[in-house]
Every structure is written in structure tokens, then in C-alpha cells.
Amino acid sequence: MDGSVLQRRLAALVGDWYAEHARELPWRAPGVSAWAVLVSEIMLQQTPVHRVLPVWREWLARWPTPQDLAVEPAAEVIRAWGRLGYPRRALRLHECAKALVERHGGEVPREVEALLALPGIGSYTARAVAVFAYGDRHPVVDTNVRRFVARAVTALADAGPPRTVADLAAVEELLPADPADAARASIAFMELGALICTARAPRCADCPVYAECGWQRAGRPAATGPARKVQKFAGTDRQVRGLLMAVLREATAPVPRAALDAVWQDGTQRERALAGLLDDGLVHRLPGDRYALPS
């Protein structure tokens, strides 16, 4: 099946499926601001939807525009981030809000190049905002999209290591020419990968491209590359960092060192986690061996 046929078939089939089965997420609602979309994309990085939803709603109620977030102290931004994980994202979003105010009059730009120039905005996020907020035609590639394209187009069980240029080109080939149709296809590919074409237990019988899927037609061959390691959390530096941050978020005054020492028995690991938080700018050391969130 040549590329033009795949373009028509996959985009149409997945788009129709999306119209009927897509999750009703607030950042997809008609008329939602580009800022709200950008916030959702940052929060959704390595974090499941059900954890993001309540925090996203609280953030948009409190900071509905970049201007509102930009004037807040960094400590308040980190506290509001709560337990979403990877709190450096909160600082990047704070820096991004300031840059939007300074460079773009508080508006989220539409051009991918301008989005890429903002703090904390990478290739995926820039294209996602341009497509999902403005309806422009750009390939949007995340893990779910890469897996779907690998299976449907190249008959592979797994997409393998990311290859930015090749991945973008493979997805762009599947996008309809019309920007609105292309934007719909982009979100539909992503949703199908998240709900149906999953990594461990794909629901092939429920897939709208079952008959056209190269992987299915090839007999669903197993992945040939090395198995991916499942990232653990318990006992890792990430867990220790989270425990230290929880103490600081809940504190109303600088915290003495003893309060941080109490959260984890392994002193070497605790010191390493604290040093990482200091290096990341998430924690400040104050006179008297006290610690606080950045002011």
C-alpha cells in the first residue's frame, strides 16, 4: 500500500474512531486557550491523565493566563505542582510564563520556531501546542504515535529508539493536506496509541485499522530489540527527592536540616538527593543549615 493510500485510509479510519471514542478531556474542549493547552502538555509529560486532571483544573482556575503565573513566587508554583512528579517542570513552566509576558505580550505564539525558543519547550511540546491549540498542520510524535506508526505502517511490534527526523517524516506522510483534518488525525493517532494500540496488551480486535495494520497482517511478530526495563520507583533517588520536597512544600517557614534527615535513613542517598534538588534550583540552602523552596 503506497503512502498516499495509507494517508487517506489511516487518517480517515482513526479520525472516525476518535470522533466516537475519544476521552472528553478539558484541554480538548472547544475554545480552550493556547495557554491551557500548553500547561496540559507540560503536566502530561511522564504523568498519567488521571493525576494531571485535578492539578490542571486548579492551576487554570488560579493562573488562567501567563501573566497570572509569571508574577507568582517560584515557591508557590512548586507547592501548587504538588505530587505530579518531576517538579523541575513547574519551574520551567514558571520561566515560560515570564518569557511569554516579556517576548509575546502574554500570548502563546503559534509558530513552532517561536514556541521552541521558550524555556522548557521541546520539539514535541512546540508542535503539540501549534496543532492542538491552533489547528495547524505539523507532525506530533510521542511514544504512542511512534508505536502506532511502527505497527500499522512498518509491521514492527516496537518503534525502537527515537529518531526525531525520521519519526517526524513518517508521521507527516500520514497527515491529510488540510490543516484541520491533519490536526484531527494527529490527536486521533495519539489517542489510539494510548487506549488501543498499547505497548503491553494491544486491543487489536477493537482497532479501526485492524484490516490495514501491517503488524497484524504479518502475524504480529515479536519485537526483536532488547526488552525495555521497567523503571522502578521505590527506593530510588526520585522517591527520596519526593519525600524531601513534600516536607518543604508543607512547611510555612525554613526547615532545619534535622527535619529533612528524618525522611530517609540512608544518609548517602539522602545527601545525593538533596544535592540534586539544590543543583536544580528547587531548594535553597539558608544560613543556619536551613532549607526552603526558592523565593
Residue 266: what residue type? D
- Distance from C-alpha of 152 to C-alpha of 17, rounded to nearest angstrom: 15
- Distance from C-alpha of 205 to C-alpha of 213, rounded to nearest angstrom: 11
Active-site residue identified among 41, 58, 111, 271? 41
Cα-only R_g, the chain: 22
Q: Is 41 a catalytic residue?
A: yes
The residues, any chain, with a CB within 8 Å of residue 151's CB and separated by 6 or more, are 157, 197, 202, 213, 214, 215, 216
Instruction: Give me the phi and psi of 287, to 5 degrees please.
Output: -55, 150
- State the residue for C-alpha cell 511522564: 46
- Distance from C-alpha of 192 to C-alpha of 17, rounded to nearest angstrom: 8
- Distance from C-alpha of 209 to C-alpha of 216, rounded to nearest angstrom: 10
Report CA 193 to chain centroid distance, whole Å.
14
Neighbouring CB atoms inside 10 A of 213's CB total 21
Q: 290 forms bridges with which residues in the sheet?
A: 256, 286
Tell me which residue of 58, 50, 134, 113 sits closest to 90, measured CA to CA: 58
- Asked if residue 17 lies in contact with residue 192, where contact means CB atoms within 8 angstroms, the answer is yes
Tell me which residue of 173, 178, 125 sits closest to 149, measured CA to CA: 173
Cell triple for residue 175? 497527515
Could you tell me the end-to-end alpha-carbon distance of the chain, in angstroms, rounded to an integer? 58
Q: Which residues are catalytic?
A: 41
